[in-house]
Amino acid sequence: MDTPLWPRRAPAVHALSSASVPRPDVVCLSHLRWDFVFQRPQHLLTRCARLHRVFFVEEPLEAEGPARLDVHFRQGVSVLVPRLPAGLAPAAIAALQARLLRQFLHEHRVKDYVLWYYTPMALEFTRHLKPKAVVYDCMDELSAFAGAPPEMRERERDLLLRADVVFTGGQALYESKRHSHANVHAFPSSVDVDHFSRARAPQPDPADQAMIPRPRIGFFGVLDERLDLALLSAVAAQRPDWQLVMIGPVVKIDPAMLPVLPNVHYLGPKRYEELPSYLAGWDVAILPFARNEATRFISPTKTPEYLAAGKPVVSTSIRDVVRTYGARELARIADSPEEFVAAIEAALCEDAAERLRTVDTFLAQTSWEGTWTRMYRLIDAAIAGRERGQAVEPERLSEPGVA
């Protein structure tokens, strides 16, 4: 077997020393903020950080004074937040980001590194970099989201030309991207079973949920344009004895658009560590997504998390949910308000013991550890491909001008 260029983690003594085989750093460019919601990037990159230096570069924030780069340490990852003056043109923003990042990499001796993209828009300030490999983890079809920059699709085409390996956040997204690159792999989001299975044990309710009557029908996640607000309103109106518990931040929609009924409760965002305690007090977990361009390719991370928590799941007909969970009878699928109400009623009455046996058999085949291990091997192969000169060289891409 060839010696891996990207040394793998061993349970005890590793066969390769960092002196003989340097471990490349990872520079991740993300549209998501590290402290916003703990999801796919955090699960993967905290595992990466066990052996590698990881730098997570967020989108810039406006601030007074000269441009600077704030650095925070989170779960073993260095989080870099550009702080830029207000009112700059896009070209000036890109130039400042490029300069700040270049200075940071130089000062911290980041020479051998992998570039890991979550947003193609980061190409605007990273075209000049010369990594050992380029990873594009395409977790969503960002061009379909509300407020997406009009040049998003063009930047993604550029990134696909530059990337050595592409991961997708689900099967539907894989089928959309597989003809756009020669090295695309589907990696649906996984689950930390040990974390969410804590919800199966009896425990006290969190204070802001304790006074809500049962039965409780719950959702956690970002409250945005992907939710079917009309469906939520109709279900709450049809069954005023049910309590709908909604957990998560409101993003990209006017909070005034959210249904306001006595039995709909918005508890705001919660920390990842708190989610099992909220799930423990639910009777059914739901995925009330609209069927629109923003949800066409999603593969909701929360589906296996709900299942690991021991909750029955009702979802609208999101393609990846239907194929992965509905087809295995791990989730009920319904779209109209009447169908959704009927599905929740059935979930409230089902045999929990039989459901959990089926769920646990399925979940035994998936974990973030397994997902990361498979990704790791593909990145190792991508680095090897670069070393053999079998990849597109980034030198052909020019660096943005310096403001």
What domains appear along the chain, each with residue ranges and CATH number? Answer: 25-190+367-396 (3.40.50.2000), 193-363 (3.40.50.2000)
pLDDT in 10s for each residue of the chain, 403 residues: 333 444 444 333 222 223 345 689 999 999 999 999 899 999 999 999 999 999 999 999 999 999 999 999 999 999 999 999 999 999 999 999 999 999 999 999 999 999 999 999 999 999 999 999 999 999 988 887 777 788 889 999 999 999 999 999 999 899 989 999 999 999 998 999 999 999 999 999 999 999 999 999 999 999 999 999 999 999 999 999 999 999 999 998 999 999 999 999 999 999 999 999 999 999 999 999 999 888 888 889 999 999 999 999 999 999 999 999 999 999 999 999 999 999 999 999 998 998 999 999 999 999 999 999 999 999 999 999 888 876 544 333 333 333 2
Of 58, 50, 72, 4, residue with least CA distance to 28: 58
pTM of the model: 0.86
CB contact set of 11 (below 8 Å; sequence gap of 6+): none
Amino acid in the structure at residue 40? R
CB contact set of 354 (below 8 Å; sequence gap of 6+): none
Cβ of 320: how many Cβ atoms within 10 Å?
23
> Are 38 and 32 spatial neighbours (Cβ–Cβ below 8 Å)?
no
Amino acid in the structure at residue 212? I
Cis peptide before 215 (omega within 30 of 0): yes
Both tokens assigned to 253: 């929609």
Beta bridge partners of 155: none
| d(C-alpha 117, C-alpha 332), whole Å | 34
Residue 9 pLDDT: 40
Both tokens assigned to 169: 């956040």
Residue 298 pLDDT: 86
Q: Which stretches within 313-365 are classed as H helix?
A: 319-321, 337-349, 352-363
| d(C-alpha 184, C-alpha 164), whole Å | 9
DSSP assignment string, 30-44: -SS-TTT---HHHHH
| d(C-alpha 251, C-alpha 258), whole Å | 11
Instruction: Return the beta strands (E) in 264-343 as ranges.
Output: 264-268, 284-287, 313-315, 332-333
| d(C-alpha 224, C-alpha 229), whole Å | 9
Both tokens assigned to 393: 């060289």
Phi, psi of 196 (to 5 degrees): -80, -25
Phi, psi of 292 (to 5 degrees): -145, -175
Residue 5 pLDDT: 45
